């Protein structure tokens, strides 16, 4: 992760915080810089869904942009999901997202990461 990318993202965060009609602050705050660093670390940690375990292991996934109006509100959201496995005939049962929505195809998912360790 480059400092140039962090600075650009921090500037975007700063500009987005400006009130309508006001000018953005000339200096990027430490808070904006930390927010940009945290956001970029999450984004860069996402792996392609094709590399995810398909053995029932729970993972944290970010959903892709979904064009279907019924599910569009889920675009970009994060869920703990798992792969349902395969039938004896080899049929891919897809990803279980939440009760009522299972069998999602790979194209539903932008990326994934392992779940963080639980606090002890």
Whether the Cβ atoms of residue 71 and residue 45 lie closer than 8 Å to each other: no
User: What is the overall mean pLDDT for the chain?
Assistant: 81
Quick one: pLDDT at residue 93? 92
Residue 15 has pLDDT above 60, yes or no: yes
Burial of 36 (0-12, 13-18, 19+ CB in 10 A): buried
Question: Distance (Å, rounded) from C-alpha 81 to C-alpha 68?
Answer: 20
Confidence of residue 115 (pLDDT cuts 50, 70, 90): confident
Alpha-helix residue ranges (DSSP H) falling in the chain: 3-17, 30-45
Q: Edge-to-edge strands of the sheet including 109-113?
A: 95-96, 78-83, 59-63, 109-113
Confidence of residue 12 (pLDDT cuts 50, 70, 90): confident
| Predicted TM-score (pTM) of this structure | 0.60
| Three-class DSSP category at 96 | strand
Which residues neighbour 90 within 8 Å (Cβ) at sequence distance 6 or greater?
Answer: none
Confidence of residue 94 (pLDDT cuts 50, 70, 90): very high
Among 36-40, 81-85, 87-91, the minimum mean pLDDT is found in: 36-40
User: What φ, ψ does residue 31 adopt, rounded to 5°?
Assistant: -65, -45
Confidence of residue 7 (pLDDT cuts 50, 70, 90): confident
Q: What percent of the chain has pLDDT over 70?
A: 76
């Amino acid at each position: 992760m480059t400092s140039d990318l962090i600075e650009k993202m921090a500037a975007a965060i700063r500009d987005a915080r400006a009130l309508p009609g006001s000018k953005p602050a000339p200096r990027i705050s430490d808070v904006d810089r930390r927010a940009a660093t945290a956001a970029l670390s999450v984004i860069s940690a996402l792996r392609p869904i094709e590399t995810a375990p398909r053995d029932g292991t729970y993972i944290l996934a970010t959903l892709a942009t979904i064009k279907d109006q019924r599910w569009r509100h889920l675009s970009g959201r994060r869920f703990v999901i798992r792969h349902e496995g395969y039938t004896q005939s080899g049929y891919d049962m897809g990803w279980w997202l939440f009760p009522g929505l299972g069998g999602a195809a790979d194209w539903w998912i932008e990326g994934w990461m392992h779940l963080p360790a639980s606090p002890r």
